[in-house]
Every structure is written in C-alpha cells, then in structure tokens.
Structure 1
Amino acid sequence: MKRDSNYADTEVDLTLLANFTHQIINPLNGVVGTLDNIIDGTIGPDRREQRTKAARGQLENCITLIRNLAYLASGENAFSDSVERKVVLPQVIIEAAMFYQEEGKRRRISIDLENRSDQNLITGHPETLKQVLMNIFDNGIKYSAFGSQILVKQWVQKNTNEAIITVRSVPEQRLTTLDLENIFLLGFRGDNAKQMIASGTGLGLHICKHLIEVKHTGSISVQQDGNGLQFMIKIPGAWSTS
C-alpha cells in the first residue's frame, strides 16, 4: 500500500492530541471527584477549603493547556484582541505565579519573585507575557525537585533598555545537552520529562518562544546554572519608575 506523504505529520498530530486529551481528562476527573465528595459529605468541613483550592489548581492547569492548543491551532489569532499597552512586570509575574501556588504547596515548591517592589515596565501584550510565564511555571512545578524553589528576578538592563526576566528552578533530573538544544521545538519533551511524567504535549515552551519573539520582538533562552535550570527573557523598550 502506498504510504501517504502526510502520514508522518498526521501521526504526530494524533499523538499530540492523545497526550493533550490525557492531560485534560485526568485533572477534570479529579475536579469531578472532589465535587462529588463535597456533595455527599465524604470531604468534611475541615478539609473542604483545602480540596476546593486543589480543584481550582487543576482547572487552572486545564486552562493553560487549552490556551496553548488554541494558540497552536490559530496562531496569532488566539491573541488577536490583545493590544499593546503598559505592562507592569512584577504584577504580571505575580498573577502568573498565582495559578500554581496550590500545586506548588502540594510539592513544597515555592515561586518567589525576588524584587517585587521594583516597578519595571514595558509596552507590550500582558496576556501573552502572562501565558509565557504560566508555561514556564507549569513546567517548573511539574519537573522541579520536591521542596525546591523557583526564583524569579526582573530588572531593566540600562545600556540596552531591555527588560530581563529570569526564572531559575532546580530540576528533579538534570537536562542533557540535547534537551537544552531542542527544548523550544514543537512537540519536544526531554528524557527527564518523560521519566517523571509519561505523557505531555511539548507545546508550552515552543509557544513561549513564539510569543516572546513575535508579540514582544524579544528573545528567550535557557541554560544550566549549577544544579539549576535558568530561563532568560529579554524584551526591548523597558523603563523603570522605581
């Protein structure tokens, strides 16, 4: 039988869709189970708030996944209504981190912004920058060592007027050179990610790169930093009011 020239692409798409479906269904089933247990009284008043917050965290994770898939499917149209405006960097970082506080508590991983009082700003797209940070924090919570810290710093490079955002985490398993070289490729998942979580979409970091480059004319890179992994985002045209 003649092999369809689009077969390989179709196979990749189906694999991605299967992984995406798996990652959506599991947390949604968890939320349904939590609600059922609250309704039938299995979860008592003393645990209700904790379990409700955990369910909210699961829904927020689903939102991130769906936004990533929507962006992949429609390209820039997914954020076509997003217009450039003033973006306060510590504010958007804190808002993105809030999505992962509950899951972070479960794994005793904190997301800490070192210099949150420094009011550094850019003119850009807050929704897309928030999505970038959410994707990075999502990976950090999933793959960082139990009890570790995700440390975020943001400042303005005076000689270039670039906003710099760094996100440093401590992976459970060290990334290989090949992982680092391919980490932003569509569908790529490193060996460390596969060993910790069997299924995944490989969308998040690819979308980060595209949003930073297209929506902010900036750059994003990653490198080993001792026992840690550090992402660095650079966005031009920044200023500080501090």
Structure 2
Amino acid sequence: MKKFFEIIKFVFINLFLICFVAIFSVIAYFITKTIYAKILWQPQELVSQIINFILGIILAGITIRLLSSLLIKDRHEHPFWKEVINAINSISKGNFNVRLEKYNNHNHPFIELIDGINNMAANLKAMEEMRQEFISNVSHEIGSPLTSIRGFARALKNENLSIEQRNHYLDIIENECIRLSKLSENLLRLTILDSEQYPLHLTTYRLDKQIQLTILEFEPQWSEKDLDISVFMEEITITADKDLLKQVWQNLLDNAIKFSFKGGVIKIQLHKKETFAIVTIADTGIGISEKDLPRIFERFFKADKSRNRVVSGSGLGLSIVKKIVELHHGEILVRSQVGKGTEFTIMLPLNIKECTK
C-alpha cells in the first residue's frame, strides 16, 4: 500500500511539473512571437518549438526558485510570529514586562508592528502602575479620617470627659466626615468628567462677573489671612458650561488663599486675546518646587512636605480643574518658585461651539 501511494505521488508530481512547464511554454510562445515580429525573423517550426520549450523551462525554473525563496523566508520568520503571539498572550494575562528586543532593528520588515507591541506593553504597564497608586492613595485618604473617627468615637465613651473635651472630639469627627464627603464628591465628579459622553451645558454669560462673584464668596477666607486681592478684568462674554467653570475658579482661588502667607497678595487678571479668554491667578505664597511641577495635575499627588504642613487636601482639586479646562478645549499652564508664589494661566475659547464644529 505504501509503495502504491509513492507511485501515485510520483505520477502526480510529474504531471504537475509537465503542466507547469507547458503553461510557461505557452507564455514563451507569445514572448518569442512578439520578439520575432520586432526583429523581422521567423525560424523554422521545429527550431521555434525547441526555443519555446527551453524558454518555458527557464521561466518555470525561475518561478520555482522565487517561490522556494519566499517559502524559506517564511520559515525563517516563523520564530518571529511565534514570539509576537507569545508577547500578546503575556500582555493579555496582565504581564506588561514584554519587549521584542532582538527584532527591534530598522531593517526588519515588521518594525512598525514591533514598535506598536512594545509601546502598547509600556503604556499598559504605566497605566497599571497608576491604577495601583490610585488604589493605594484612595485607601490612604479614606483610611486616615476613618481612623480618627473611630479613635475619637471610642474616646467619647469615657464618661469622665468634660463638656469642652467632648465638643472638641465631636468637632474633629464632624470635620473628618466633611473631609470624607468632599473626597467622595470629588471622586464622583472626576468619574463623571472622565466620561467621553459627558454633556456640557453651554450658556452665554459674562465671565468677568462670574469670577468677581467667586472672589466675593471667598472673602471670609482671604480677609482672615489679611490678603491683598488685586483684580483687573475686562468685560468678556463667553459661551461655556457655567457651573463647571465656576469649579475651576473656586479650586484655584481656594489653593491661592490656602498656600499664601499671611498679608500676601493674590492677583487675578482677565483679558481677551483673539478668540480666547485668558485668566491669570497668581499668589505670593510658598510656591511649588521644580521637581513637583510636572506632577501637580496628577490625581492624589501632593507636593513637598512644606506644602502639606500648611494645609491638608486630597490632591484631586487640580485634576478636576485640568479636566474641566480640557473639556472646554482650553489649556492650563503653571509657573512657580519656592518661597515666591505660584501663577496659573487658563486659556479658554470664547465660544466652545466653534471648537466642536
């Protein structure tokens, strides 16, 4: 039986080769016919058939050689595809320490694919690290007030406490509950703002009046620290989400007041440049170090210890500010120097509807 299949295989291969050569002999016939017409020469029929047959064999040989080269190349590339599949499988299982090193050369035909996989793994690794840091920060921010609440609630069970001590502990518990409530609100707000489908409720209103009203709302805070509030604003009408932008001014003014030295100065300016409204809020407070500046818009990031000693916070305010500004197709910039103060500049299009067309 084995011999029978070998005979069938032999016959099949030879028939295939004969047909292959015959096809290329026909192709050779048309090629030689064209050449004869060009050079005005017609050989005898037998000579013509011999020429066609030889040319057909040559063309068939060249074609087989090219095909075999491609097949050999594919066999050489097989380990590459195997590594690509293994890399993708590793990434799908949560292992982002993947890098295709030995294939990462500019001469490789699939260099863009290699770079894409390496970049994808690096980005996913960075996102995973951010996720873990985020969870750690949330746990810390929730854990600290809960520990205080539990500790002072236990202390209140002491029947020998004076009224003053009892009220003091109750004030601490209340403040920690407010802190937790603000954290919850800010996390929910960021989650909503992160949604690509978040609808902006656009209205046309006077931006200068909105900022002036926000400044007045904070009068108790800046009066208590005896701060000099310097205001220069042009009359500017803007089309934007009024409620969201109010949160921007509240967060930035709150920070400027909290981090300013007593008797310091806060300057608020508003002017129009072409189709943009430019808002600048600058303080003469403790400032931000150069190494911390690139990270101040990260969620839960808190600058150096000197700032943390001045006032506590969740580290979400500036993240919310940046997100709102970006939703309005604007830009926020910051300059700061330790011991001399911080300046935020916000650039907003006068009409966001023009940016979304």
TM-score with structure 2 setting the length: 0.47
Note the C-alpha offset of 1:193.
1.8
Query: Structure 1 stretch 64-73 or stretch 87-96: which is displaced more?
Result: 64-73
Task: Specify the code of the residue in structure 2 equivalent to 1:10.
Answer: I
Query: How has the CA–CA distance of structure 1 residues 67 and 20 changed in structure 2, closer, same or farther, with 3 Å as cutoff?
Result: farther
* Partner residue of 1:86 out of 204, 207, 219: 204
Name the CA distance, whole Å, in 1 between partners of 2:261 and 2:227: 8
CA distance in 2 between counterparts of 1:65 and 1:94 reads 27
CA deviations on 1:201-220 (whole Å, 9 max, x unpaired) are 00001110000001x11010
* Alignment counterpart, residue 128 of structure 1, candidates 232, 241, 244: 244
Which residue of 2 is the match for residue 119 of structure 1? Answer: 235
Note the C-alpha offset of 1:70.
Answer: 3.2
Contact 1:92 1:130 in 2 (8 A): yes
Q: Distance in 1 between matches of 2:271 and 2:333?
A: 16
The structure-2 alpha-carbon separation of the partners of 1:13 and 1:89, relative to structure 1 and needing over 3 Å to count, comes to: same
* 1:107 aligned partner, one-letter code: K
Counterpart of 2:283 (choices 155, 158, 169) is 169
**Rg (Cα) greater in structure:** 2
The aligned length equals 193
Letter of the structure 2 residue corresponding to residue 232 of structure 1: T
SS in 2 for 1:124: strand
TM superposition outliers: structure 1 runs of 4+ over 4 Å: 5-9, 18-22, 60-67, 79-82
- Change in Cα spacing, 1:97 to 1:81, as seen in structure 2 (3 Å) is farther
- Opposite residue 230 of structure 2, the aligned amino acid is D
Q: Following the alignment from structure 2 to structure 1, what is the Cα–Cα distance between the partners of residues 322 and 146?
A: 23
Q: Which SS does the other structure have where 1:111 is aligned?
A: strand
Alignment of 1:52-67 (within 5 A): 67=185
Q: How does 1:228-239 map to 2 (within 5 A)?
A: 228-237=341-350
**% identical equivalent positions:** 25
Partner of 1:218: 330
The aligned residue for residue 41 of structure 1 is none
Partner of 2:68: none
Q: Distance in 2 between matches of 1:94 and 1:76?
A: 29
CA 81–210 in structure 1, closer or farther in 2 if over 3 Å, else same:
closer
- Once residues 250 and 228 of structure 2 are traced to their aligned partners in structure 1, the CA distance between those partners, rounded to angstroms, is 14
**Per-residue deviation, residues 40-97 of structure 1 (Å, max 9, x unmatched):** xxxxxxxxxxxxxxxxxxxx999976653431243367x9675111131111111222
In 2, Cα distance between equivalents of 1:20 and 1:167: 31
1:224 Cα offset (Å): 2.7
Partner of 1:190: 303
Deviation sequence 1:73-129 (CA, Å, 0-9, x none): 43367x9675111131111111222232101111112433223xx211221111111
Q: Conserved in 2, the CA contact under 8 Å of 1:87 and 1:125?
A: no
Give yes or no for contact 1:164–1:233 (8 Å, CA) kept in 2.
yes
CA contact (8 A) 1:155 1:163 kept: yes
Letter in 2 for 1:12: N
For residue 282 of structure 2, what is the amino acid of its counterpart? R
Contact 2:192–2:198 under 8 Å retained in 1: no
Structure-1 residue corresponding to 2:266:
150
CA drift at 1:229: 1.4
Measure the CA separation in 2 of the matches of 1:98 and 1:107: 15
2:229·2:266 contact (CA, 8 Å) conserved in 1? yes
Matches of 2:244 and 2:335, distance apart in 1 = 23
CA distance in structure 1 between the partners assigned to 2:145 and 2:332 by the alignment: 24
* Deviation by residue 1:124-163 (Cα, 9 ceiling, x = unmatched): 11111110010001111111111112111001113xx111
Compare the two structures and name the one with the higher strand fraction: 1
- Alpha-carbon distance change, 68 to 195 in structure 1, aligned in 2, over 3 angstroms: same
Q: Which has the higher contact order (CA 8 A, sep 6+)?
A: 1
Amino acid at match of 1:138: D
**What is the CA distance between 1:164 and its match in structure 2?**
0.3
Counterparts of 1:135 and 1:119 in 2: how far apart (Å)? 22
1:236: Cα distance to partner? 1.6
Alpha-carbon separation, structure 1, partners of 2:326 and 2:235:
23
Find the partner of 2:139 among 2, 5, 14: 14
SS in structure 2 of the partner of residue 210 of structure 1? helix
**Is 67-76 or 174-183 further displaced after alignment?**
67-76
Q: Which has the higher helix share?
A: 2
Structure 2 CA distance for partners of 1:110 and 1:65, relative to 1, 3 Å: farther
